[in-house]
Amino acid sequence: MNKIVIEYLSFLKNERNYSDKTIINYRKDLEEFLIFFKIDNYKQLDITKEDLRKYLRHLDELKYSSTTISRHLSSLRSFYNYLNVLGYYDKNIFKNIKNPKKPKKLPNFLQINEIEEILKNTNISNDIYFNIRNKLIIELFYSTGIRINELVMIKLSDININEKSIRIMGKGSKERIVYFGEILFNDLNDYLDNSRKYLKPKCDYLILNKFGNQITTRGVSNIFEKIISKSAIKHKVTPHTIRHTFATHLLNNGADLKTVQELLGHESLSTTGIYTHVSNERLRQIYLKTHPRNFH
């Protein structure tokens, strides 16, 4: 792989705190780009805007989705910004190059009874201490709306029990505060007073594996999949589905979009706007039931 790309990926991991999954995607995108232009050293990275358009047409001819092409473009834009900072490149070929329009995709979310069904089936182990931990994982997802890679990074020092808040380190090392209620408060105390001590912690991270070390995202995914498979829910559910559910339930119960944006850690309000489809339907139903001009 090109040396400058290796340095860039290391920068993303160590300085920007990007997830392993994101870095893998960036690497694949950049490798595909380098192969297309037969680039093997940084001096050949000096491409033109027409070269960039040619490459985007190539991706389109490969029948890549607009989402995938947008990701490629974002990967390249970020990489060339990095080259600009280092002085390897002094042009802005990305100016006026827009991402292809993405088809609007409504987020998948769960009903309250489905959340309750999941929580009823967290006892997937013969060991009560693991089950306490597993229930806490689900409650953390639903009560705070955090991402899976944010969950595994929570340390004891990030939790303020008295204020019922958790400091979260999100994408791009952006910090935010999330809050929780009585149910998570009780589950958290149960875990800290019992399960975590039983796991003989060897680190300061909140959620531990059976060896007392920080649990991985794969470890959490395995636990989550076992819980879902034990439940009566037959359609696909992921930790991110719970995040969608968190946002949707807040909006359905009267939260404003700006507040939900802050809790989710979205940089743009338009990103949070995908959740308003459910709230709009709720408003429509309330209008039909309550406005005098709709009575017959």
Select from 193, 197, 187 the least CA-distant residue to 164: 187
The per-residue pLDDT for 198 is: 94
Instruction: Report pLDDT digits (tens) over 141-173.
Output: 999 999 999 999 999 999 999 999 999 998 878
Which tokens belong to 162? 């008295």
With 60 as the cut, is the pLDDT of residue 190 above it?
A: yes
Helix axes 217-230, 239-252, angle to 10 degrees: 70
pLDDT at residue 28 greater than cutoff 90: yes
Mean pLDDT value across residues 108-133: 95
Average pLDDT for 117-135: 96
Distance CA 295, CA 293 (A): 6
Amino acid letter, residue 77: R
Question: What is the per-residue DSSP string for 90-116?
Answer: ---TTTT-PPPPPPP-PPP---HHHHH
How does DSSP classify residue 267? S
Contact 134, 187 (CB under 8 A): no
Residue 117 pLDDT > 70, yes or no? Answer: yes
Tell me the percentage of the chain whose pLDDT exceeds 70.
91
Return the pLDDT at 105.
66
Which is more confident, 292 or 52? 52
User: Which pLDDT score, from 0 to 100, does residue 165 have?
Assistant: 95
Rounded Cα distance between 223 and 220, Å, is 5
Contacts of 62 (CB under 8 A, 6+ apart): none
Is 70 exceeded by the pLDDT of residue 176?
yes
pLDDT at residue 209 is higher than 80: yes
DSSP-assigned beta bridge partners for residue 165: 160, 179
Report the pLDDT value the prediction gives residue 287, as an integer from 0 to 100.
Answer: 65
pLDDT at position 172: 79
Residues labelled as active-site residues: 147, 171, 240, 243, 266, 275
| Average pLDDT of the chain to the nearest whole number | 88
Query: Which H helix or E strand runs over 166?
Result: strand 165-169
As a whole number of angstroms, the distance between CA 259 and CA 269 comes to 10
> Would you state the pLDDT for residue 241?
94
pLDDT of residue 107: 73
Cα 92 to Cα 96: distance, rounded to the nearest angstrom: 10
What residue ranges define each of the domains in the chain, with the CATH number in brackets? 3-86 (1.10.150.130), 112-285 (1.10.443.10)
Most confident of 12-26, 45-59, 204-218: 204-218
Helices H / strands E in the chain, number of each? 14, 3
Q: Is 224 helix (H, G, I), strand (E, B) or coil?
A: helix
70-97, pLDDT tens digit by residue?
Answer: 999 989 999 988 988 888 877 778 877 8
**Rounded average pLDDT over 222-234:** 96
Among candidate residues 19, 22, 7, the one with its CA nearest the CA of residue 75:
22
